[in-house]
Amino acid sequence: MNDQVITHLLDKQTPILDWMKDFLRIPSVSADPGFDDSMHEARNFLVQRFTEIGLDNVQLLDGGGQPAVYGESLRAPGKPTIIIYGHYDVQPADPLEEWLSPPFEPTIRDGCLFARGSSDVKGSTAIAIETVAAFLAVEGDCPINVKFFIEGEEETGSPSLRAIVDKYRELLQADGVLSADGGRASREIPTINTGARGNNALEFSIRAAKGDMHSGRYGGAVRNALHDMAAIVTSLHSSDGTVTVKDFDIDATAPTQRQIEDTAAFPFDQRAFLDHVGAVAHGDPAYTTREQLTLRPSIEVNGMWGGYTGNGVKTIVPAQAHAKITIRTVSGQDPIRAIESVRKHLIAHCPKGVQISFSYVGTGSPASTLSPLSPLVLSAERVLQAEMGLRPIHVRLGATVPITSIFQEMLDIGTLMFGFNLPDEPVHAPNEFFRLESVEKGLRAWTKILRELSTHKTSEFALK
Amino acid sequence: MNDQVITHLLDKQTPILDWMKDFLRIPSVSADPGFDDSMHEARNFLVQRFTEIGLDNVQLLDGGGQPAVYGESLRAPGKPTIIIYGHYDVQPADPLEEWLSPPFEPTIRDGCLFARGSSDVKGSTAIAIETVAAFLAVEGDCPINVKFFIEGEEETGSPSLRAIVDKYRELLQADGVLSADGGRASREIPTINTGARGNNALEFSIRAAKGDMHSGRYGGAVRNALHDMAAIVTSLHSSDGTVTVKDFDIDATAPTQRQIEDTAAFPFDQRAFLDHVGAVAHGDPAYTTREQLTLRPSIEVNGMWGGYTGNGVKTIVPAQAHAKITIRTVSGQDPIRAIESVRKHLIAHCPKGVQISFSYVGTGSPASTLSPLSPLVLSAERVLQAEMGLRPIHVRLGATVPITSIFQEMLDIGTLMFGFNLPDEPVHAPNEFFRLESVEKGLRAWTKILRELSTHKTSEFALK
């Protein structure tokens, strides 16, 4: 049975690609105020398209930064309501001289569309918009209710996203989020991302004396804050890299059999993964590298400093030392409890007579988790199985996806990442590209997942 | 039996004090080029006095920086030749508003002479010059041959001292150095400084990856350069603070019975010493704090840094870390061997796959040591015993005295510090003062030590 919407989309691939290119010509760099006019132009471009394709209630959602662009189609009573997330801002294009074609002049070479933002994430955002446009054109409505939320600050860390969600909380009520950003881990193997680690941060300082001391007058007879800091940092892990903080992972959900199997099934070239950045494998030997990265929490010191760090020699016994720590948490971990276990460990390992103080202790984002039984996941599984002929592998991200955490925390809804970019497309770097084949794949898959989602009751979406 | 020279000096105390005040009125701040005219004036002032009192061969010794002022009296054939060291430069006087009387207007209050440079070290330098002046005035010659060497860069780390000594090596041949700088550790207890620790430095870096990695993508599964640096630094000492570097002190001379006794005899208020800087005692428990500071070598990390050290959070697994280390050595230790033992330790404790590199490995100054049987020490013992009625205690400095090291290394002669300033006189700080009583004590003691030195053969001075 032919899907008329897919037929329509495949017929319209040329105008869709043209529209995508026009979108890519707008240098909407959110990090640089010099591009503010282009940010404005990109919003207008989306507002115009949203209006053209027949979305309702089209508006800018302003939280004090770059506004998000909103538009909705709520013509499927009783069906689930899904926020479709994407972003219209892009990374800066520097260094310009390394681009083979200009970053804001979309150019096709070798089956790929080269332009800043093509992979991250105007390409997948356009696929989502055009899929809904096709439903509205062919069928007059969508199988589900959709609310587009196209952000303008993703590349600068979403500074006003919480303010926007807070201000438009009523407008943004939904059963789940389908994100055009992120999702595919491999070109050949279908994957479904079922969550991400949480993130939490603290910074602390120790003081071992009133001020730096002369290393001749005091060296060898008093505590040195750098020696003490080194011992404190060392105490966080055993020599094999296992976290040694008491009760740190006491509430972490143990990896399920399915997670262990999926992690093993995912094709992962550990040697290539490490060699890419010249890194050395190190971590809890009870887990594989992929398990360490996605199913296990971690503690990393991100910065450490103290004493004299300029040129040459300064003969001091330093009085102070500082460190920044981030903590990645997994499902089940209460982020406040996890960070408190680290804080207690640091205090317990600070030597007698040495003062410890915390300049901040973050409350952080918890790990985000989609149940394998979520309609978002089940729908994606059916679509990808049908399209690719392979059982999708569930994967988790080691990193934290702030929008996922924010939607989960503030709106109590889960996010399925369903973008069609691939990990080898150089996002945030020169010569970013998006595979042209992904456009057709994406249009087909997005059509199908909107249909699949409509087969679920809204009650099935509730997060546990 | 009255000493006619001492009688003469005590009669002339008023003009001596007036001359000292004139010397102190010259703001000879070597650190600030704005005071170059005053540096020039101070040299002229010394050249004039040297000429006036009858020194020969008066000249400036120029090594490319602030020249030293030289003058000699070599009229004691067969007797030892002694360099008399002092310096005419002073520290900057800032913060000016904290001075109760102007820093360059010498003012007497409560038996003390307040002025920048009074204690460090124009006071003691003047005592040495006036003592020789008295010998020349009363006896027509000195009991020994003297070579004045009054430096102009002591407060800026003697940058051209090596160049001067190298250029005027023949002129500066001598059997020993009597320094007007440093020496007294207590007002009541006579002390003789028999040496100082050496100093040596290195800086190293480690690299655990090509670049910083995302803590979400890599955290928990790869080596973190800061964790590795912390472990390397921690490995340098045991938890009680004892150095654990293999063979680090293998050639260190064990403290002698006399050193142990003298260290115990020296009045040392450990509580006050630590409280002054708010420090916490820590170090090899086999030694007392005074022994740790003066008879034992030490390893101190002076600076350590890596990763993100700015404001806020940066979620990275840092690729690089850096540290600066200084090493204080004691008698017997070959500084090159000592630093090599540390370098080897650092390499051995750097994890497999992590690169270590050294941005510098100093050759450093060895510890300086005066034998307790040196004529410099024996002469000082007899003088101080006679003047103070107590057996002098031998002490060593924990810090390194560069001029002592340079004279020992380049001219193969030992230095006895015989200055009359005291540790509680706020040198390098506002309201610096010199006790007036120290002027008489100094004049008496300097007269006597020149006579005592003349009783020794030149052959007795050779360093072992």
The 3-state secondary structure of A156-187, one letter per residue = HCCCCHHHHHHHCCCCCCCCEEEECCCCCCCC
In chain A, what residues touch B280 (CB-CB under 8 Å)?
208-209, 222-223, 351-354
For chain A, give percent helix, strand, coil, nearest 5.
40, 20, 40
Quick one: how far is CA B362 from the chain centroid?
19
User: Domain extents for chain B?
Assistant: 4-196+367-461, 198-252+267-288+295-361
SS3 of residue B35 by DSSP? helix
Q: What's residue A366's pLDDT? A: 87
Interface contact flag, B328 A227, Cβ < 8 Å: no
Q: Looking at the complex, report in whole angstroms how far the Cα of residue B154 sits from the nearest Cα belonging to chain A.
A: 17
**pLDDT number for residue B182:** 87
Contacts of B282 in chain A (CB under 8 A): 221-224, 351
The arrangement of strands across the sheet holding A112-114 comes to A107-109, A112-114, A433-435
| Residue contact A223–B315, C-beta within 8 A | no
Q: Extract the residue ranges of chain A whose pLDDT is less than 70.
A: 1, 464
Looking at beta carbons, which residues of chain A come within 8 Å of B244?
none
Note whether A277 contacts B307, CB cutoff 8 Å.
Answer: no
pLDDT band at B402 (very low <50, low <70, confident <90, very high): confident
Q: B462: distance to nearest CA of chain A, Å? A: 27
DSSP line for B214-250: EHHHHTTTB--HHHHHHHHHHTTB-TTS-B--TTTTT
Q: What is the pLDDT of residues B122-177, one digit of tens each?
A: 999 999 999 999 999 999 999 999 999 999 999 888 889 999 999 999 999 999 99
Mutating which of A210, A222, A271 best tests the B interface, going by the most B Cβ atoms within 10 A? Answer: A222
Nearest neighbour of A221 by CB, restricted to B283, B313, B326: B283
Token pair recorded at residue B112: 């003390």
Contact: A307, B306; criterion CB under 8 Å: no
Cβ pair A216:B397 closer than 8 A? yes
Which residue among B224, B234, B280 sits closest to A300, beta carbon to beta carbon?
B224
Q: Is B170 left (phi over 0), alpha (psi -120 to 50) or beta?
A: alpha
Looking at residue B344, what is its pLDDT? 98
Distance from CA of A323 to the nearest CA of B (A): 8
User: Which residue among A215, A233, A303 sits closest to B309, beta carbon to beta carbon?
Assistant: A303
What pLDDT, in 10s, does the model give residues B43-83? 999 999 999 999 999 999 999 999 999 999 999 999 999 99
Helix (H, G, I), strand (E, B) or coil at A443: helix
Determine whether the interchain pair B213/A277 forms a contact, defined as Cβ–Cβ distance below 8 Å: yes
In this complex, how many residue pairs, one in chain A and one in chain B, have their CB atoms less than 8 Å apart? 289
- The pLDDT of residue A344 is 98
- Beta-sheet strand order (sheet of B145-151): B56-61, B68-73, B145-151, B81-87, B176-179, B415-417
pLDDT of residue B192: 96
Quote the pLDDT of residue A226: 98
CA A439 to chain centre: 22
Contact A385, A150 (CB under 8 A): no
- How far apart CA A130 and CA A123 sit, in angstroms, is 11
Contacts of A279 in chain B (CB under 8 A): 208-210, 213, 218, 222-223, 317
The answer to whether the Cβ–Cβ distance between B219 and A293 falls below 8 Å is: yes
pLDDT value at B1 more than 70: no
Q: Which CATH class is domain A198-252+297-361?
A: alpha beta
What is the pLDDT of chain B when averaged over all its residues?
95
Residue of A295, A301, A349 for testing the chain B interface, max B β-carbons within 10 Å: A301
Task: Select from B222, B350, B363 the residue whose CB has the most chain A CBs within 10 Å, as the one to mutate to test that interface.
Answer: B222
For testing the chain A interface, which of B210, B242, B304, B359 should be mutated: the one with the most A CBs within 10 Å? B304
- CATH 2.60.40.10, applies to B198-252+267-288+295-361: no
For residue A279, give the nearest of B218, B309, B322 by CB distance.
Answer: B218
Distance CA B306, CA A233 (A): 13
In the CATH scheme, what is the code of domain A4-196+367-461? 3.40.630.10
Chain B nearest CA to A215, separation (Å): 7
B237/A227 touch (CB, cutoff 8 Å), yes or no: yes
DSSP letter string, A365-380: BPPEE--TTSHHHHHH
Percentage, residues of chain B above pLDDT 90:
88
- Note the pLDDT of residue B185: 86
Query: From the CB of residue A157, how many other CB atoms can be counted at a distance below 10 Å?
Result: 11
Task: Provide the shortest C-alpha distance from residue B288 to chain A (in Å).
Answer: 9
Position A312 scores a pLDDT of 85
